[in-house]
Amino acid sequence: MSWAKLTPAQQEILRPIAAEWDKLPNKLQKNLLYAAERYPSLTPDEKLRFNDKLKKWSKLTPEQRKRAREKFQAFSKVPEAEREKVKQMVREQEARKAQGAVSNAPPSEATGR
Amino acid sequence: MNQKLQPEHIRQALDNSLEQIGPSTLARLRHAREQALARHGAASAASGWAAKWHFDTPHYKFRYFAAAAVFAAVLFSGAAYWQQEHEAGEVDVAILADELPIEVYVD
């Protein structure tokens, strides 16, 4: 389905990948259109994450997306406590990355002067 | 008289006795014969249809159930395909909205 045939609401949600949309495989387009339908029911944080990840997700190969879905579904079956541990590790890693980015920045940016 | 009667003798005897029957009796016999033939014709028609139904029913029922089974199979496979597509979409939404970055799930 071409970009021009999407509704304004769909185009608004899928805007991060507007340039690539027409080149995406049909199956991915269908999945993303379904995701766009569910978008309004997401929390604000979820919507932010959705927008951030959309472009990256569309750039993966079909095989990578397939593996990612399998891993996600397997991870969903892990007990909540274990999943929370993994999420905490990832949060700490992200925080360290952000810290590193700040400390590597030029002095004027790091101190805000 | 102990000789065995042959069919042609019986026929001859019947024909001979027929000549001795009066016209009114013949008329009554003819009428009765016609009535009997008419009843036999209706019964034959009814039994013909009944026979047709009797012989066709197993095939009819088989064709009906076979068609119903094919229809159910098509319906079921369509529903299964839709369910699969629906689930794939749900997983994509969950990954995109998830707290963890995509890299965690990508090799």
**pLDDT above 70 (res A5):** yes
> What's the pLDDT at B56?
57
> What's the pLDDT at A79?
92
> What's the pLDDT at B19?
66
The label of the residue with tokens 């997700």 reads A57
Cα torsion A6, A10, A12, A17: sign = negative
ipTM passes above 0.85: no
pLDDT (tens place) for every residue of chain B, 107 residues total: 556 667 777 777 776 766 677 778 778 888 888 888 888 766 666 566 655 655 556 667 788 888 888 888 877 777 776 676 677 788 999 999 999 999 888 86
For residue A42, list chain B residues with Cβ-Cβ distance below 8 A.
93, 97
> Are A65 and A28 within 8 A, CB to CB?
yes
Are A69 and B97 inside 8 Å of each other by CB?
Answer: no
Long-range contacts of A4-13 (CB under 8 A, 24+ apart): A6/A33, A9/A36, A10/A36, A13/A39
Judged by CB atoms within 8 Å, which residues 44-103 of B form the interface with A?
A: 85-86, 88-102
* pLDDT tens-digit series, residues A44-88: 999 999 999 999 999 999 999 999 999 999 999 999 998 899 889
Q: Tell me if chain B has a CB within 8 Å of the CB of A38.
A: yes
A108 pLDDT tier (thresholds 50, 70, 90): low
A113 pLDDT tier (thresholds 50, 70, 90): very low
> What's the pLDDT at A105?
61
Q: Whole-prediction pTM value?
A: 0.58
Q: Determine the 3-state secondary structure of A40 from DSSP.
A: helix
Residue B31 corresponds to which tokens in the numbers above? 């009428």
**B37 or A32: which leads in pLDDT:** A32
> Are A3 and A22 within 8 A, CB to CB?
yes
Composition of chain A by helix, strand, coil, percent to 5:
80, 0, 20
Tell me the mean pLDDT in the region A2-13. 94
